[in-house]
Each structure stands twice: as C-alpha cells, then as structure tokens.
Amino acid sequence: MGKKHIVTSALLYANGPIHIGHIAGAYFPADIYVRFLRLNNEDVAFICGSDEHGAAITLQAKKLGLTPKEIIDKYHNQNKKTFAEFGIDFSIYHRTSEKIHHETAKEFFTSLEKNNLFEVKTTEQYFDDSINQFLADRYIEGECPKCGYQHAYGDQCEKCGSALSPNELINPKSTISGNKPVLKKTKHWYLPMAKHEKWLAKWIDEGVINDSKYHDTKTWKTQVLGQCKSWINSGLKSRAITRDLEWGVKVPLENSEGKVLYVWFDAPIGYISATKAWAKLNNKKWEDYWKSRDTELVHFIGKDNIVFHCIIFPIILRLKKNYILPKNVPANEFLNLEGNKLSTSKNWAIWLHEYLIDFKDQQDSLRYALCASAPENKDTDFTWKEFQARNNNELVSILGNFVNRVVVLTNKYWGGEVPVVDITNEYDEQILSILKKSPTKIAKSIKKFRFREALTEMMNLARIGNKYLADCEPWKVIKSDEKRAKTILNISLQITASLSIVSEPFLPFTSKKLKDILNLTKLKWTDAGVK
C-alpha cells in the first residue's frame, strides 16, 4: 500500500476572521511541511476546516443577534478564501456542520457508549437564571486558579494555557448576563481518562503501545512532552463529553434533548470526517489513511490545544480501535503583536484579509516574516519594524537581489540562454559542493519541524549566490575571458534553479515566479542541487 501521510491543522472556529497568530501557529508550518512532502512525491492528505460548533459560535451569534448558521456561513467562506489567497493548499477545507461529520461523530459516541466506555453522572453545573440556560464552559469567566488571570474561561485559561473545569474558577460569572451563576443538577456522559494514564504515559515517554513503536520521543518538542507529562502526573480526571446546548452534534440517545457532544469531542473527529469527504471526491479509501500503520499522522496546533490532541483525542481513537495515533504533534507557542497578546475582542490583531488589501500580492513577505520569527519553542513577537527589515534586508536585498542580477546578466550577455559550463576552478567546485548539500540540510530541518532553521538554510543559499557573484564579477570577466564568465553565470543559474525548488515550501508565490522566469516545470525536491 505504501507510506501515506495525514497532516492536520487545527480546525478554525468559524466565529471570526483569521489573524497572524492563527496562521503562524498552525497553518503556515503545516503548509511548509506538506509542500515539502509533495515535492518529494509523498502521498499526503492535508486536512483542515471550520469548527462550527461549541459555545464560541453561539456566543458570537447572541452578541450579533444572528443565528449560528449565519455566523458560520460568513466566516467559513471568508476564511477558506483567505487561506487559499495565502497559498495554504489544503487537500480539503471541510465543515463540522456537514452531514458526514455529524454521522461520524455520532457513530464514535454510539460505539463507545454501547461498549460502556463512558461514565454517566448527574452533577451540579453552572446555570444562569436570568436567561434560563446552563452555561457552557465558554460562557463562564473568572480568575484562573493557576496563574490568577482574571478573564479565564471555564474550559481554559488563554493566558497560561491551562485546561480548566468551570468549578475551578475563582469568582465565576456568566459572560452573557454578567451575573453570578448558580449550581443546578444535570446529567452528562464523561470520558474516564484516569483509566488511560498508564498507556498514555508509556506512549508519551517512549512512543510505545503494547510493545509497538509509534514515534521517536526525541523528535517531539520539549514543551509538548512537558505539558503532557504534567497532566498525566497530576492525575487525569473524568471529563464531560456532552454539553447542555442546542447548537452542535445532538447526543444520539433517547431522552437526551438539549444535549450535544462537547466541541472537543466532536472537533478532532472532524479530521476523520473531512478525510472521508476528501477520499470520496478523490476515489480513495479513507481507512488507508486512518487505520494503517504505514500512515504517519501529524497534528499542527497551538500550545493551548496540546491536551486535546495528545491526551483526549488519542484516548478516543484507541477506544474506537484500529485507528493510528499521531507520530508527532509539533505544537507552537504563542505569537504576540508589538509586545502585547493578540486579542480579537480588543481588535489587537493583524487580520489576514485586511493585510491583503494593504499589501497586495505580498503574501510571501508575511509568510517569510512569520516563519522567520515563528514561536516554535517559546512565545515570540511580531513587529512592523522587524517585518519591514526582513522584507527589505533579506527577501529583497539577498534573495531578490541575487536572482535579479543573475537574470539581468543572462539576458544581457547571452540573450536569456543558459551559457554552457566550460572549465570550473577550485572555488567553483566549492560552491557546487555547497549547492549539492543545501537541499539535504534544508530537508533535515523540515523533517524535524525546525522551520525557522530550514528557512535560514534556504536564505543562506541565496547569500552564497550573492557572494559568489560579487567575488567573481562576471560583468568584468566577460571583457577578457568569455568562457570563464559563462561558467560563473551557469553556476549562478544552477543556484537560482535550486532556490526555485527549495523556496517553494516557504515562499510558494516567489517560487512560481522563479520557475516561470527560468522556464522550469514539474520539478521535484531531488532536482535541487543537481549539477
């Protein structure tokens, strides 16, 4: 059957537009990785879509006086268009409101429920008397017990990233009415996570389940492993996988009106339902991607989603049986803006659809800047000053300058034809050796999810090209030694051709322009660096 890849980016809440924090965390890195795999002729399904359920959607709808469907239709279409405009090349951008997703999520729940893998408990949960409604986690706000942040939600603190339960919040209040909620009894289905601590710990620590190797723990980011181990070592608690809401995937049981599947139960299953939809459109078998050990599953997410992708979703997949678990979850930290945390509510963000208005056809400038300052291992900061400096001093002065000089010289002296190499000297051979090794170095970094490092290696090749031209001065040499000038330009064109390939994962629009200029088509990664 051969090796296959499932690469997922976190399903985006369809309650607002995309900002740079979203794309730097889970979408540009995934696109870089997928483009690299495709350049190597790998069989890859790049899965994403809109997360259209949960409290965030209903909360936004209530604020705007719209229905949830009106909200999700608007932002699904807008975000799908924005992703495409930035070259994020998903195999499918699906929706969790689709029938196939509801069917898939219900089938997961029913299968686990029939096998008595849930706990059913009646507990007290927060209820807002003024609106006669149980409060979903995101409708409750209070002080985080871990870091003291005053505006933590009932399921998560967005400042420290801790996953929470509503009853852990200090001084909780309803985000809808502002009132203090009361506790009221309600019945829900719980995932008994404590029963899975042992195998999860071994899988996280050693990458092993039942003596079968799933992944090399050394390739996982330390902060991902650290957060997982902290959760497991603290003792996993049962987590409700249903909610009292009208909007979402209905619990498929009798006498369960007004209850839906918890968004963090149904959303990850969205990767599977999206794969089903994609496979049907492309005459493929979705099971080959989710149920074969020959497939490598990689989740690209932000650090606030680690627990769901590394603990909760793996538990669900293993309980369902025959599903693979992720080979890696290269979660990024957070990107800040001009020293402050990105905030949609305070409109402190750079919205991608607005960026394209102000910086027409400059997608690669932002892709480059965000990759160069990507929060791979710690929170980083985006500033307009740095954006300008990277664009002018690196993209233009290094890459653009080199390519422009090579093209101008080739057109000026050889009518746009590639000059034939005559005789190379020791310096030429040194440059050709570096050129040959460069794609391997870049590939090694990409495979380790070190995209900043890979980008630097790519730009180093352009730097070497600039230095080679400056050292050899073919515009002077041609006056006395045309053969030597031809050799210099030939080698410079080889560097340019390789740049058109190795730049594609990071700068797809620039890569296409380079290939068009050089009249190159159907290139693979292995064509880069070839003499």
Question: What are the pLDDT tens digits along the chain (531 aa)?
Answer: 569 999 999 999 998 899 999 999 999 999 999 999 999 999 999 999 999 997 778 777 877 889 999 999 999 999 999 999 999 999 999 999 999 999 999 999 999 999 999 999 999 989 998 877 888 787 899 999 999 999 999 888 878 878 788 889 999 999 888 999 999 999 999 999 999 999 999 999 999 988 888 888 999 999 999 999 999 999 999 999 999 888 999 999 998 888 999 988 999 999 999 999 999 999 999 999 999 989 999 999 999 899 999 999 999 999 999 999 999 999 999 999 999 999 887 889 999 999 999 999 999 999 999 999 999 999 999 999 999 999 999 999 999 999 999 999 999 999 888 888 777 899 999 999 999 999 999 999 999 999 999 999 999 999 999 999 999 999 999 999 999 999 999 999 999 999 999 999 999 999 999 999 999 988 999 999 886
Angle at 353 between CA 337 and CA 102, to 5 degrees: 100
One-letter amino acid identity for 444? K
Q: Identify each DSSP E strand in 282-440 by its residue range.
A: 295-300, 335-337, 340-341, 380-382
Domains and CATH numbers, the chain: 4-116+263-337 (3.40.50.620), 120-185 (2.170.220.10), 383-527 (1.10.730.10)
Task: Judge residue 153's burial from the number of C-beta atoms within 10 Å of its C-beta, 0-12 exposed, 13-18 middle, 19 or more buried.
Answer: buried
Torsion sign, CA atoms 339, 341, 345, 350? positive
Which residues 6+ apart lie within 8 Å of 186 measured at CB?
122, 123, 124, 125, 134, 244
The span from the CA of 296 to the CA of 290, in Å, is 9
The residue behind tokens 């008994």 is 192
Which residues 6+ apart lie within 8 Å of 33 measured at CB?
7, 298, 300, 446, 449, 451, 505
Report the half-sphere exposure of 373 (CA within 13 A, side-chain side): 23
* pTM (predicted TM-score): 0.93
Strand 4-9 and strand 43-51: pairing?
parallel
